Structures are given as structure tokens and as C-alpha cells.
Amino acid sequence: MLENFLNWISGILWGPIMIYGILIVGLVFSIMTRFAQIRKIKEMFVLMFTGEKSEAGVSSFQALTIALSGRVGTGNIIGTASAIAFGGPGAVFWMWITAFIGASTAYVESTLAQIYKTKKQGVYRGGPAYYMEKGTGKRWFGVVFAIAAILAMAILMPGVQSNAISSAMNNAFNISPWITGLITIALLGFVIIGGVKRIANAAQIIVPFMAVAYLLVAIVVIIMNISEVPAVFGLIIRSAFSVDATFGGMIGAAIAWGVKRAIYSNEAGQGSGPHAAAAAEVSHPAKQGLVQSASIYIDTLLVCSATALMILFMGTYNTNVNNADGELIVEHVPGHSYTEFTQLAVTGAFPGLDNFGAAFVAFALFFFAFTTLMAYYYIAETNVAYLFSGRTEGTITWILKIVMLASVFYGSVRTSDLAWLLGDIGLGLMVWTNVIGIIVLAKPTFIALKDYEEQRKAGKDPVFDPIKLGIKNADFWVERNQSKNQQQVNKEKAKM
């Protein structure tokens, strides 16, 4: 009964309005920014490595890795595999399209986070709750998102990540899920107790290491099967438009699962990335907006594609018709564990190395999912800071730590289907709330991009002045500029 009710909720949240609506919103943002995700692609990657951290904020690269730690998770391995299982190989194409369009959405939400960020207890805070309140003047709007984010990040979604870790470790090493759960919460507890600085320091080491290692293995598999590349890409394209005989009539499922799993993986429009974006120490909001656009490409076009290509090269997947009976139209793998799709693919590529695929994917999943859990906590903590202050904030933050660690352990030992169902509901709540917010508030981000480009064209390092641009309630930037102006006046007086 409970599962039926949860399926009903998930169906409402992820109906056609969401699936096609988020694509339309991203397309509109792409047009309004004149496809900045293409025009500025070189600049995105240059900006990643500029800017220094400060006492209040983290560097652009650290903010990127915090965001990527949330984006690069189980969605890249299990999510991609489940998209192929329910939408066919064509779902991969729609994941690519969603990423391309979603990069503009990521720019908008992350730039908004920078424009309306604040400084609280010596640390930069920001995200959808903050820009919803400051951009509309209605605190209840921000409160709705903050509650949805805390529920999703601390209770509903951690189980997907911890369940992926425990199931992969069980498949590879026969380790009991409860043992994996205890180890996971012990390590996670150590990191999150250290706050945002420790999370940033851990993310900037773990994220590049795990992503590069995973991509290197995928590249080896692709090189070993280089002659199959045209056939696999042809299968993806044909399936995406239902012109393949095997997957004919599945275009609706391909689009739906491609969009859903792309959003789950790269989080464009979800409202999670802006929390990390707001923490960056930059001179202009558009800088971090562009950096966060690049994170969508890294997540989906690189890491998700690596998973998809390994699975499709080795043929280690099942695809079932999305009906009540779950009729299989392609059956290559016994059982229904989506983790095994990738594990078997890697094992098949290296037949002389016993259990290599299962072990490698298990460790990859551990790092992917663990860093995502770090990001989830940071997002939940940021929204607690939005809702509360003073001693109450400190108390609630400790309760948050305990609740999240409990959710992580519970997710380690429960069934994966229930974990994904709860995760979909949590994600849906955040996406609905955030997308409505960024549609209403997007205009300042287009103004900021135009200002950034004009200053760059003039040979300047862009500096943001909201008063000059007519952007209201960007209090942090107004105070920052006033402080810098006063410092300059004091220097000139001292010279006299």
C-alpha cells in the first residue's frame, strides 16, 4: 500500500509537464544567453582554475568539486544503467540533449546563487532558498524550498547513494550491507563534522581522482572496441527516435528516462549546484555560473557517457517494456541489479582479470556515492542555516548530522527499488520548487552575463556592481563594493 502511494506521488512529480517542461525551460535559457554553453565553453574551463579561496569562501575549483561531488554519483553508473533498462539505448541520446540544454539552466541557477548570496557567521551561504526570498521579497517561497531540500538531501535521497555502495560491495566482496553501512557513516561523520572547509578539501582531492580513474578505464574499453563505435552510436541514435526494430515504439520511454536520469545525475535545475556556487570567492557572479555550466558537461557528457558506452559495447544490459508486466525485450544479464550492468561490462572487457569489473565498479561507486553524500549534507546544512540562527541553528545542525547518518545507514540495508523511489520523490520536490523560482527570477542572470561580457571585451577583470545594473536586494555585493571603495579612500588619505 505504501509503495503504491509513493509510486503515485512519483508519477505526479515526474509527469509529462516536468519531463518536457524542464527541456523547454532550458531551451529558453539557452536562447536568452545566446547559447553561452557553447560560446563560452573555453572560458568555462579557464575560469575553473582562477580565483583564490578566502576566510569566508572557497576557490572556484573547490566550489566546482563540491558541486561535482553532488553531481557525480550513483546516477552516473546505476542511473545510466537504469535509463538503458527502461528507455533503451536511445535514453542515452536524450541524456546528452538534457545535459546540453541543462548547462544553461545550471548557469542561471548558479549565477542567481552568487548574486543573492550572503555572509553568515563568517561563511558564504546561498542557494535557491536565499535567491527565492531576496529575488521575490517573499520569505515563504524560500522556506518551501529549504524544507523540500532538507527532506530530500537528509532523508529521502541519501539512501540511493548508500544502497549503491552496499550492494556493489556485496556483489564484489560479499561484504554484509550493515558492515558497509557502519563504515560509510563513520567516514561520513568524520568529514561532515569538520564543516564546509573539510568538505571542500576532501572534494578537491577525491573528485578529480575518482573521475579520472573511471574515465581512464572507460577509454581503455572504448579503444579495445574501437571498431564497434559507429555501430553503438548508430544504435543510440536509432533507438532515440524509435527507428530501430528492437526498440521501436519506445521514444516516449527513451525521452522520459533520459531526462529523468540526466537530471538525477547532473542535477541541472534541481537547485543543488547553486549551494556550492554561492560559496565561491569570485569578483563577478557570471564567473561561477559559467564554471557550474561546465560541471554539467563533465558529469553527463563524460562520466555518464563512459558508463553507457561500456555497457553497450559489451552488451551487458536488459531493456524492458514499461508496462505492468515489465516485459523484457532485450535480456543479456540475469537478474535486475543495474550495478551489475557496469560491473559485468568491465569484467567482460578484461576477461583475464578475475572479478576486476565488480571490484573496480564497487570502489568507483563508493567514491562517487560517498562524495555525493558529502554534498547532500552541505546542501542540507545550508538550508538549515537559512531557516534558523544562533543557538537554535547549532542544535538543529547537530540533529541534522544524526538524522542524515541514520538515513545513510538505513539506505545501506533496505531494498534498492524503495531507495530509488524515495530518491525520485525527493528530487522531484526540489526540481519543481527550484524551476518555478528560476523562471521567475532569471532576468538578473542575463543582465549579469551581458555585463560580464562587456567588461571582458573592454579588457577588464569583471567586477559586479548590482546598483549600476539595477539589480535590487543583492546586499552582499553592495556592502562588498562599499567596503572596497572605503578602503581605497583610506589608502588615498594615507598617501596624503
- pLDDT band, very low/low/confident/very high, at 303 (cuts 50, 70, 90): confident
pLDDT in tens, 420-473: 677 778 778 888 889 999 999 999 999 999 999 999 999 999 999 999 999 999
CB count, 10 Å around CB of 174?
7
The whole-chain average pLDDT of the chain stands at: 84
Give pLDDT, residue 55: 61
**What would the mean pLDDT of 309-328 be, rounded to a whole number?**
77
Integer Cα distance of 441 and 428 in angstroms? 20
Q: Is pLDDT above 60 for 408?
A: yes
- Please give the distance of CA 158 from its chain centroid, rounded to a whole number: 13
Give pLDDT, residue 56: 58
- Please give the distance of CA 482 from its chain centroid, rounded to a whole number: 35
Give pLDDT, residue 477: 94
**Contact (CB, 8 A) for 350 and 357:** yes
Q: Is pLDDT above 70 for 371?
A: yes
CA atoms within 13 A on the CB side of 194: 13
Paired sense of beta strands 118-120 and 318-320, if any: unpaired
Torsions phi, psi for 118 (to 5 deg): -140, 170
**What would the mean pLDDT of 277-300 be, rounded to a whole number?**
89
**What would the mean pLDDT of 184-207 be, rounded to a whole number?**
79
List of residues 6+ apart from 444 with CB closer than 8 A:
111, 112, 115, 135, 469, 471, 474
Integer Cα distance of 364 and 396 in angstroms? 33
DSSP calls for 74-137: HIIIIIHHHHHHHH-THHHHHHHHHHHHHHHHHHHHHHHHHHT-EEETTEEE-SHHHHHHHHHS
Q: Which residues pair with 330 in a beta bridge?
A: 319
Give alpha helix (H) positions in 137-194.
Answer: 139-151, 158-173, 177-193
Nearest residue to 196 (alpha-carbon basis) of 291, 56, 71: 56
pLDDT more than 90, % of the chain = 31
**Contact (CB, 8 A) for 265 and 300:** yes
Integer Cα distance of 249 and 241 in angstroms? 9
**What would the mean pLDDT of 65-70 be, rounded to a whole number?**
72
Integer Cα distance of 165 and 142 in angstroms? 33
Q: Report the range of poorest mean pLDDT among 76-85, 323-332, 371-380, 476-485.
A: 323-332
Amino acid at 266: N
- pTM attached to this predicted model: 0.86
Nearest residue to 263 (alpha-carbon basis) of 473, 42, 18, 53: 18
Helix axis angle for 90-115 and 416-441, nearest 10°, is 50
pLDDT in tens, 115-152: 999 988 788 889 999 999 999 999 999 998 999 889 88
Integer Cα distance of 435 and 30 in angstroms? 15
